[in-house]
Structure 1
């Protein structure tokens, strides 16, 4: 049978990075083995499931480029099918109705806790005939003896004693099916061969295998992926930073960088760090995923993202950068070509958001100077170089406003004043950019343009005069 995997999120929130890693592993496994990758939305929690969450999941999958072959399927569309399977299990004596009150169940739990026994239903209603018209739940008749074994592709062979497993509820009093029943039915009906999911579902695998075998279905193979931890060793959550896939997009990360980072959370291939999606498909092996939890390292993600920004097509980065400039109320058409800005700045930013911030000077004047840069470079001694540069720049024709000509002017002024290049270029840089870091000064001047260069030199000279006068007072 062809390999078929599935990603089955619950639409009760955003697509978080843990879910995205699970989806990635399922996608890679299917693609590597020539199989199909299915998206299933497990929306049976009617109170918490929302259309906004469904859209967030679909948006996150689309942004990551994890294309599914079938779906999205919605469990709420299959309620009739679930009810038919539950009725079949009842008819075969594989499930039973239970009308135990909440009070009885609470007393049972209290006694078990007091006796330091693992709380579980005691099978009180097994074999009893409960009127179908009175309020009741339906429970699966879990085997009483023996063991159920999960041959996990990551964790290896894990055995569960059946006498520690509950007769779990598969239909609630209101008639709605429960998670473990719907998952079993969907995995069987969709011919899922391999289930890759978080290790918090390892116990559910034992219960689901028992239901599948009782129903006469072959269980899929399972791989339970360890959780992702924050830098403090606890489960990754909002307090550690962004966990939503879309939040990473909005912060200026590239999808290929996030995918590359996620695949390395618990899996490796030698010492390699950089993987294209095609390389991931070729090299990924679910059997070599680490059994231990992986810690999320934001510095490593930043490093990868900077690598991808630097090596991507500048035209694509310009297209992705544009909305980040828009958030700064900058219209990219009012300044230099955005591709030229990306070419000059790509190696200097970890995210698109940072790239937009450090490139804002190309499109508009700034409100203040970096304090350390101004203190060091915008001193009275910088007046003469800046005045000489302004005079030379003003005489330049617009057609000559090119890096080579600009560089020649700056070196000439430095030579005439008997100064090192840095003593001329750095005050000019701070005057033009507002800080001591930018691309090469000639490239910077070209991007800013002649009019803005002259205006900002005037502003810097006025600032120096004001600061100097204040000192003298």
Structure 2
């Protein structure tokens, strides 16, 4: 058997990170088994589906590197096929025409709620209360149509829906690869609508027909669909089709254990791109939300494909932890190719002003050594601020304090030594500073503090010798000269 999985989002909004994790699990499972990963856009809800949402889903998938093996299938293009299956089920007697109107069904539900409310009255006897509750529960129970057993139509031209003839009795069992054995009683399954009165298919029919026609072998999806599985399996059985293996994955919750919402962090996958996370970091993080493999915490794409299995998925909801995501993103930024990382940083660096050639050269020199200076691209970009400040530098309070009269005197002496360096490297610079301190009986702090203040204006920066190298000899000496000139040196 060739494993075939699918990701089937509805284009009614963004690609949620929960959906992205579902797509990732399907992708990895297919790749692990040398199978195929497919994408289906479930746009049967024509009123809410939009082209913009479809484009956002495709963009998010592409950013995460979750490439489907075929172009995406638009579910709405298959209405005729869905209707064909419904007609076949009518012929087989596993579906029937139902003439109940939406208004009648709503009146039934309303009456059930009224009886349930009436049963709460204080003046009722136990038997009266039980009778009312029994009537309410019958009205609110899964709908079993009076036309399921062949009752005549109310009129020759009466509108109708096509409903599944749900299982009549007994226990229904789903062997789920994540949730285990799940059971419900047959009378909990309604005679669900498969074709609306206008002839359009519902989700319940369309998803089964499409999964069958796409040869889907494993349906990996959120556990909010678990109950739908009991309604969909009878359609497979009615058509004599093989039933795929189901695996229902628990939801992602916030760090407080509550259902994930905007207060816990961004919900849109692409929002994490805008926040400065790398796609490989987000997928590595999503992989570990609800799945584990030994003690390994961070997986590359290749490692994930080699290791992923359904047995490693836990039943409990996973919790979103942005601090952990930041740690993983920092890890992958350190591993990233320098040219790629600079390409990703440039839009952030140039958000306020373009990089000139000198600034770009300094950042290119510094980048291989500064990849650990942030957990997101935005944080990393801000770490280069000391390389971009314009002369003369504005000094913060601490920098002004470091450039006291004594500090400036020491800086003047060091400047003369730095000018004599012929090979402007961090090692040579460090040797020169150490020699200057030894010759003048000074500590590194007595020299380093005013030097750092003159070079950075007090902005955060790494060790001073690399800073001097990245600035370049001309720029570094010019920054020192600006401070000395301002003090009359």
TM-score relative to the length of structure 2: 0.87
Separation in 1 of the partners of 2:13 and 2:357? 37
1:241 corresponds to 2:265: yes
**C-alpha RMSD of the superposition:** 2.6
Q: Contact 1:344–1:439 (CA<8 Å) still a contact in 2?
A: no
Separation in 1 of the partners of 2:206 and 2:375? 43
Separation in 1 of the partners of 2:191 and 2:458? 68
- Residue 469 of structure 1 corresponds to which residue in structure 2? none
Aligned mate of 2:341, from 317, 341, 344: 317
Deviations 1:305-364 (A, max 9, x none): 111111233233223222222224332644225442221210222111111111133233
Map 1:187-198 → 2, pairs under 5 A = 187-198=211-222
By how many angstroms is 1:119 displaced? 3.8
By how many angstroms is 1:403 displaced? 2.1
By how many angstroms is 1:13 displaced? 1.7
Map 1:216-365 → 2, pairs under 5 A = 216-331=240-355, 333-335=357-359, 336=361, 338-365=363-390
Map 1:58-457 → 2, pairs under 5 A = 58-113=58-113, 114=116, 115=133, 117=137, 118-126=140-148, 127-130=150-153, 133-331=157-355, 333-335=357-359, 336=361, 338-365=363-390, 373-374=398-399, 377-393=402-418, 395-396=419-420, 400-435=423-458, 437-457=460-480
Q: Which moved more, 1:433-442 or 1:259-268?
A: 433-442
1:39 corresponds to 2:39: yes
Instruction: Label 1:257 to 1:85 Cα distance change in 2 as closer, same or farther (>3 A).
Output: same
Separation in 2 of the partners of 1:213 and 1:189? 15
Deviations 1:377-436 (A, max 9, x none): 45554332334344555x457x64332343244334434543211232233223322446
Instruction: Label 1:91 to 1:449 Cα distance change in 2 as closer, same or farther (>3 A).
Output: same
Q: Which moved more, 1:277-286 or 1:149-158?
A: 277-286
Map 1:451-466 → 2, pairs under 5 A = 451-457=474-480
Deviations 1:254-287 (A, max 9, x none): 1221111111111111111121111111111112
Q: Contact 2:293–2:312 (CA<8 Å) still a contact in 1?
A: no
Separation in 2 of the partners of 1:44 and 1:132? 29
Q: Contact 1:9–1:41 (CA<8 Å) still a contact in 2?
A: yes
- Residue 12 of structure 2 corresponds to which residue in structure 1? 12
Instruction: Label 1:282 to 1:109 Cα distance change in 2 as closer, same or farther (>3 A).
Output: same
Partner SS for 2:384: helix
Task: Structure 2: give runs of 5+ residues left out of the alignment.
Answer: 117-132
By how many angstroms is 1:458 displaced? 5.6
Separation in 1 of the partners of 2:251 and 2:11? 20
Separation in 2 of the partners of 1:132 and 1:327? 68
Task: Structure 1: give runs of 5+ residues left out of the alignment.
Answer: 466-473
Q: Contact 2:362–2:387 (CA<8 Å) still a contact in 1?
A: no
Separation in 2 of the partners of 1:56 and 1:14? 6
Larger radius of gyration: 2
Deviations 1:208-251 (A, max 9, x none): 10111012111100000000011121122222112222121222
Instruction: Label 1:263 to 1:370 Cα distance change in 2 as closer, same or farther (>3 A).
Output: farther
Instruction: Label 1:201 to 1:430 Cα distance change in 2 as closer, same or farther (>3 A).
Output: farther
Separation in 2 of the partners of 1:175 and 1:271? 53
Instruction: Label 1:381 to 1:125 Cα distance change in 2 as closer, same or farther (>3 A).
Output: farther
By how many angstroms is 1:72 displaced? 0.8
By how many angstroms is 1:123 displaced? 1.4
Partner SS for 1:148: strand
Q: Contact 1:184–1:211 (CA<8 Å) still a contact in 2?
A: yes
TM-score relative to the length of structure 1: 0.90
Partner SS for 1:106: helix
Q: How many residues align?
A: 462
- Residue 123 of structure 2 corresponds to which residue in structure 1? none
